[in-house]
Amino acid sequence: MLSIKNISKTFHAGTVNEKTALRNVSLEMKSGDFATIVGSNGAGKSTLFHAVTGAFYVDGGQIILDGEDITFKKEHLRSRDIGHLFQDPLLGTAPHMTIEENMALAYMRVSGKHSPFGRVTKKDKTLFREKLALLDMGLEERMKNPVGLLSGGQRQALTLLMATVVTPKILLLDEHTAALDPATAEKVMKLTKDIIAERGITCLMVTHNMHQALETGNRTLMMNDGRIILDITGKERESMTVDTLLEKFREQAGTRLDNDRILLSGR
Amino acid sequence: MSTIFTLSILQSALELGCIYALIAIALYISFTLLNIADLSTDGCFTLGCAVGAMVTMAGHPVLALFMAMGAGVCSGFITAFLQTKMGVQSILAGIIVNTGLYTVNLAVMGFSSNINLFHCDTLFSLAKQVSENKIYRDWYELGIAALIVLAVCLILGWFLNTSSGLSIRATGDNAHMVKASSINPGRMITAGLCISGSLTALSGAILGQYQKSCDINFGTGQVTIALASLIIGNTLVRRGGMLKRVSGVVLGSCLYRFIVAIALRLNLPAEAVKLVSAVIVAAAISFPCLKEKAGFTKKKMEMRKKAAVRT
């Protein structure tokens, strides 16, 4: 589904702030793969996502999504096929517009029935209500409320819904539950897993919870200093514990895993 | 008091309020919805007035409105082009276009700084001939202005809920999300500024026909006045759908004209209008902040009193 071939990216090249964020990263994601990514601060996890969404163009290499070379495709054109959730729940929704309008925006743009003067129909509204009811947060009764009134967890759940209202070819989750309180985080995480499992969405998820990294999905990647240094699936992954994972990391990277938010226990 | 509030003052305040409301609506789109400080308003207003006046002089007062809107679209497009494609900061783009428009406006007016329309048909003189009825004769000007504003409000109320309208609103609300929703933000800014420009120019064209003249300085300070109307309108109507919000802006514009009319009625010289406008704008903008501060002070005093009673 997603094929990343030898991409590199250096920011501020030629200045004192020069920072190589990606070094010849290659990654092959099969359709339906659900991979978690862990790594130190500044390892290039978010940069990798931004390379895929097109926030910048890579310096070298190739990105292929579902057979199409998107290396130099513009960001807003790529986003039709890519769902992207951030850690900050405020980034994914328009605060002064109502829940219904936010849903409509996500839906009309991506569903292919997009015409410049299209309006939300009764049928669409019923669909939105059904989808919102699945969140079990009572949002279906607040369709006319501005999104700015919702809590962070509610906004993130809504963003997740909007990103998947039409099934994306790939879903990128960048620590999307990290800014939520534990109970809400768990709820949003469960929703995420349900939606992904139900529709077999190909997904990459950055997490700093090591247990989550091993338990969620079918594959775990580790990044360090702009490289993917570990890629485990199947039996090897099943037998992996947090301790052996950290040991593996030290072997590969030559340093300890350094992430000020890393969670070694708890779930 | 009866000398201050006369019917004719109310009437002319409503007429001007409706005509100038179009600029306030234009700013509602650029300033409130798109979150862009578009300072080309002054020049764009005069452009609409000049183009409208020239076409009216040629004998087509209705076509004049559409030609003026076309000119406004061009002005909005250039402002948008500079900021979306050329990397010019939005506030600078507006100032640059505003400056350039001064010469363009002079050129449109045949390099004279003032033209008058006393001897040609205008929208208003044509409408005047429809009936001899006294009531009609008293109110037809307000009727025309109100009809045009009503039409604009209805069209915008519809448009801002369509797919394009939602995209324009989202662009100003959360640019991050817009890119992630496969919307081209540059295109939305362009569309929004073109609409905004066309409304500003339409307002200019109507005012030119209403006052039967066009002056190169008509536009000066319009952006401040429109901003005042917009902010009064936003204070009056804080929530609700798009149609309600846009109507609130019209209400704000009428109220502003009313305040100015009363201020002038208090024997202020005509030259003071701009200063009065500036004071009203500053007052309208600072009102919510002052209200909050007053509330806080009150609460603080009460709590101190309570504490004093306890001890």
Contacts of B162 in chain A (CB under 8 A): 116-119
CA dihedral (A37, A38, A44, A50) positive or negative:
positive
B307 Cβ neighbours under 8 A, 6+ residues apart: none
Query: Given an 8 Å threshold on Cβ–Cβ distance, is A118 in contact with B163?
Result: yes
Phi-psi region of A163 (alpha: psi -120 to 50; beta: other; left: phi over 0): alpha
Provide the domain limits for residue B136: 7-276
Flag whether B177 is in a domain: yes
CA–CA dist A106, A84 (Å, integer): 12
CB of B75 within 8 Å of a chain A CB? The answer is no
* Per-residue model confidence as pLDDT tens digits over B211-238: 999 999 988 888 988 988 898 898 888 7
CA–CA dist A159, B21 (Å, integer): 37
- State the nearest Cα–Cα gap between A176 and chain B, in angstroms: 15
Q: How far is CA B77 from the centre of its chain?
A: 18
Flag whether B293 is in a domain: no
pLDDT at A110: 66
* Per-residue model confidence as pLDDT tens digits over A169-211: 999 999 999 888 888 899 899 999 999 999 999 999 999 888 8
pLDDT at A238: 87
CB of B155 within 8 Å of a chain A CB? The answer is no
CB of A149 within 8 Å of a chain B CB? The answer is no
Query: Given an 8 Å threshold on Cβ–Cβ distance, is B162 in contact with A116?
Result: yes
CA–CA dist A198, A196 (Å, integer): 6
User: Strands (DSSP E) along chain B, which ranges?
Assistant: 114-116, 213-215
Flag whether B233 is in a domain: yes
Mutation for testing the B interface, residue in A70, A81, A102 having most B CBs under 10 Å? A102
Question: Above 0.90 for ipTM, yes or no?
Answer: no
* Per-residue model confidence as pLDDT tens digits over B6-63: 788 888 899 999 999 999 999 999 999 999 999 999 999 999 999 999 999 999 999 9
Query: Given an 8 Å threshold on Cβ–Cβ distance, is A109 in contact with B183?
Result: yes
Total structural domains within chain B: 1
CATH class, range A2-81+168-253 = alpha beta
Contacts of B174 in chain A (CB under 8 A): 90-91, 93-95
Flag whether B304 is in a domain: no
Contacts of B167 in chain A (CB under 8 A): 105, 109
What is the residue whose two structure tokens read 């939105």? A128
Q: What is the DSSP letter of A208?
A: S
CB of A178 within 8 Å of a chain B CB? The answer is no
Query: Given an 8 Å threshold on Cβ–Cβ distance, is A97 in contact with B176?
Result: no
Mutation for testing the A interface, residue in B161, B168, B171, B173 having most A CBs under 10 Å? B173
Kindly give the parts of chain A with pLDDT less than 70.
109-114, 258-267
pLDDT at B40: 95
Query: What's the angle, vertex CA A82, arms to CA A77 and CA A85, rounded to 5?
Result: 120
CB of B245 within 8 Å of a chain A CB? The answer is no
* Per-residue model confidence as pLDDT tens digits over B58-70: 999 999 999 999 9
- State the nearest Cα–Cα gap between B209 and chain A, in angstroms: 33
CA–CA dist B105, A228 (Å, integer): 61
CB of A166 within 8 Å of a chain B CB? The answer is no
Closest to A19 in 3D by CA, of A34, A6, A5, A8: A8
CB of A109 within 8 Å of a chain B CB? The answer is yes
CB of B63 within 8 Å of a chain A CB? The answer is no
CA–CA dist B196, B202 (Å, integer): 10
CATH number at B30 reads 1.10.3470
Q: What residue of B is the nearest CA neighbor of A95? A: B173
Flag whether B287 is in a domain: no
